[in-house]
Amino acid sequence: MANRHTIILMQTSQNRATRTFMDYESVSQAMDGICRLYERKLKDLNPANRDITYDVADLYNFIDGLADMSALVYDHSIQGYLPYDRQWIKQRIFQHLKKLAH
């Protein structure tokens, strides 16, 4: 899954106008991007707190709290993108954070 272009599709609320996407050069970069998105939200909610910590359950709650989130990952063998759901994203984030911790 390394170096496979990844597009994260998300909708933050039931309002369709909140639909957006982020694209990355790899699945790993996409997982970093989702973590940074959550960290920015935490900083916005806690502007006076300089040291913000969270655990993976908090991150999962953030992802589950979105109206929608999915990923499209480029697959060279089919010359196209394969769709993945929110559960797949959470599994990938867990693996990604585990790898960073070691």
Rg (CA), the chain: 14
Q: What are phi and psi of 79, to 5 degrees?
A: 55, 40
Please count the CA atoms within 13 angstroms of the CA of 18 that sit on its side-chain side.
Answer: 10
- CATH number for the domain whose boundaries are 6-101: 3.30.2260.10
Give the model confidence (pLDDT) of 5-53 as tens digits: 999 999 999 999 999 999 999 999 999 999 999 999 999 998 888 888 8
Res 72 pLDDT > 70:
yes
Q: Is the pLDDT of residue 2 over 80?
A: no
- Any idea how long the chain is? 102
Does the predicted model carry a pTM greater than 0.75? yes
Q: Which residues face 74 on adjacent strands?
A: 81
Domain ranges of the chain: 6-101
What is the DSSP-derived secondary structure letter of residue 16?
Answer: G
51: Cα within 13 Å, side-chain hemisphere: 0
